[in-house]
Amino acid sequence: MTTPTPPDEPTKSSEPSEPSEPTAAEKAEELRAFNSREQDSAWRAVAYLLSGPLVYGGLGALADHWLGTSWLVGAGIVGGMALSLYLIWFRYGTH
C-alpha cells in the first residue's frame, strides 16, 4: 500500500508584501491626532510663558519684602521669562 503524497503547496515568498494605502478614515484620524498634539504643545508653551514670570516674580516680591529691597521683583520677572523661554526652546525647539 502506498501513502498518498500531499499536493504541492504554493511557496510563500519571504519578502514582505507592500503596505496597503491607508483609508480616508485612517488618514483623518492620524491628522486629528497630530493636530491635537500640536495644539497641546502650543498651550503648554503659553502656560510656561505665563507661569515662569509669575512664579519667579512672586518669589522676588517675597524676597523684596523680607530683605527690604525693591529690585528683586523685576529680576524675578526677567529671570522667570528667561527660564520659560529656555524651557520652551529645550522641549520644543530641538526636534
> How much is the pLDDT for 22?
81
The answer as to whether 84 is a domain residue is yes
> How much is the pLDDT for 9?
57
Residue among 94, 87, 81 at smallest CA distance from 44: 87
The answer as to whether 87 is a domain residue is yes
Residue with more model confidence, 71 or 33: 71
Q: Do 94 and 80 form a contact (C-beta atoms < 8 A)?
A: no
pLDDT digit string, tens, across residues 48-70: 999 999 999 999 999 999 999 99
The answer as to whether 88 is a domain residue is yes
How is residue 69 written as a grid cell? Answer: 529691597
> How much is the pLDDT for 84?
96
- What gap in Å lies between CA 29 and CA 12, rounded to an integer? 34
CA angle at 85 for the pair 59 and 36, rounded to the nearest 5°? 110
- Mean of pLDDT values over 7-25: 69
- What gap in Å lies between CA 16 and CA 50, rounded to an integer? 51
How many domains does the chain divide into? 1
**Residues of the domain holding 54:** 39-92
